[in-house]
Amino acid sequence: SSEVLEAIENVIQDVLTSLAQKKAPVLTVANRSDWRNIEFKDSVGLQMIPHCTTKQIRSDCPRSAPKFALMLKILSMIYKMVQSNTYATKRDIYYSDTLLFGSQSVVDDIINDISCMLKIPRRSLHILSTTKGFVAGNLSYTEEDGTKVNCTCGATVFTVPSNVQGIKNLISHAKFMLIVEKDATFQRLLDDDFCNKLSPCIMITGRGIPDLNTRLLVRKLWDTFQIPIFTLMDADPHGVEIMCIYKYGSVSMSFEAHHLTVPSIKWLGLLPSDLERLNIRKDALIPFTKQDQNKLASIQKRPYIACQPMWKKELEIMAASKLKAEIQVLTSLSSDYLSRVYLPNKLQFGGWL
């Protein structure tokens, strides 16, 4: 915490020095969303290059002055929280003055900028992400406050902890981990007792695009147990995008890649090639929208696709067919096809990429 306080004091010291010299204070932050500042490394995923381009948030420019003020406001809130050893979620910060901040996304963006500027992970700034992910299966652990969590009992679902760094005594006999894109599929697999039927496993869902805590938990479980991790996504550009976030990280959080990515993640399904292999009826598939086409084209250009020839092939099949499918499409074969046939066969015969 002394490191965090010192980093914030240095920023404020620079602001005061500028004022004393009758200069307009400026905050310098990295261009987080610029692909030119990102390099791809097999072992880490997308990470920020050491000497990246920056942008200046000036206090004397009408366009950036409001952001400058909000950054100082949130820095002062972080400083107080670190001093008093209290925590807040990003939502708490937004609701402390909704009129001032205007929207939750403004707060989220500023917090990421501050974390990147100070080179300090968000958790150390005493800001917790709101968690939306779920975990179930063969896993037990103790939360930071001493609460014992046992996910192993039947079809119980637990929310991903809000302080993943603080959990300890992780125990699991799981043979693999399955990341499921959507809540509905996750619940369906639980109802079918999938976690115990085949062999003990851990199931996680970020319920769509994963929040920070879900990604941190996937990484922590990987570091702890070193078991294979598979993803079960819709066969569409959105599903591929979500899988890439777990595996390689996102551009906007590339400065924290080392804590968040798991490059060993495998694509288990739903593969575009499965649709043909399983003779899924064409009328059960969904035609691409313009947005789908654009998203797929942008994914195909990303640096990590070049080193994944099998993925590249699957994306080409998707692009050529201009059709997408949700995991639920497998129910057109039989109601429990996913848990009874599809997943057991894939896991037994190595049907992943």
pLDDT at position 133 is 92
Give 260-287 pLDDT, tens digit per residue.
888 889 999 889 999 888 888 888 888 9
pLDDT at position 153 is 67
Give 24-56 pLDDT, tens digit per residue.
888 888 877 777 777 777 777 777 777 777 888
Cα–Cα distance measured from residue 227 to residue 177, given in angstroms and rounded to the nearest whole number: 7
**DSSP structure string for 39-105:** EEETTTEEEE-SS--EEEEESSSTTTHHHHHHHHHHHHHHHHHHHHT--EEHHHHHHH-HHHH-SHH
- How many angstroms from the chain centroid is the CA of residue 110? 18
Q: What type of residue is 95? A: Y
pLDDT at position 151 is 85
**DSSP structure string for 34-58:** -GGGEEEETTTEEEE-SS--EEEEE
Domain 134-349 has CATH 3.40.1360.10: yes
- Residue 123 to residues 6, 11, 73, 187: CA-CA distances in angstroms? 16, 19, 18, 30
Give 107-116 pLDDT, tens digit per residue.
988 998 888 8
Give 143-176 pLDDT, tens digit per residue.
888 888 888 866 678 888 888 888 899 999 989 9
In 3D space, the residue among 232, 202, 234 whose CA is nearest the CA of residue 218 turns out to be 202
- How many angstroms from the chain centroid is the CA of residue 109? 15
Tell me what the pLDDT averaged over the chain comes to: 87
pLDDT at position 131 is 81
pLDDT at position 28 is 84
In 3D space, the residue among 329, 235, 319 whose CA is nearest the CA of residue 284 turns out to be 329
Domain ranges of the chain: 2-128, 134-349
Fold exhibited by the domain 2-128 = Arc Repressor Mutant, subunit A (1.10.10)
Cβ atoms of 219 and 259 closer than 8 Å: yes
% of the chain beyond a pLDDT of 70: 98
Give 222-245 pLDDT, tens digit per residue.
999 999 999 999 999 999 999 989
- Residue 146 to residues 142, 162, 167, 169, 214: CA-CA distances in angstroms? 6, 14, 9, 10, 20
Q: Which of 79, 87, 94, 95 is catalytic?
A: 95
Helix axes 65-84 and 104-118, enclosed angle (nearest 10):
70
The CA-based diameter of the chain, rounded to the nearest angstrom, is 74
In the block, tokens 């490191």 appear at 3
DSSP label at 250?
-
Residue 95 annotated among the catalytic residues of the structure:
yes
Q: Give yes or no for residue 209 having a pLDDT over 80.
A: yes
Q: What type of residue is 11? A: V
The set of residues, in sequence order, having a beta carbon less than 8 Å from that of 344 and lying 6+ positions away, is 198
Q: Give yes or no for residue 203 having a pLDDT over 80.
A: yes
The set of residues, in sequence order, having a beta carbon less than 8 Å from that of 253 and lying 6+ positions away, is 32, 112, 212, 260
In the block, tokens 């369906």 appear at 188
Give 285-307 pLDDT, tens digit per residue.
889 999 999 999 988 888 888 88
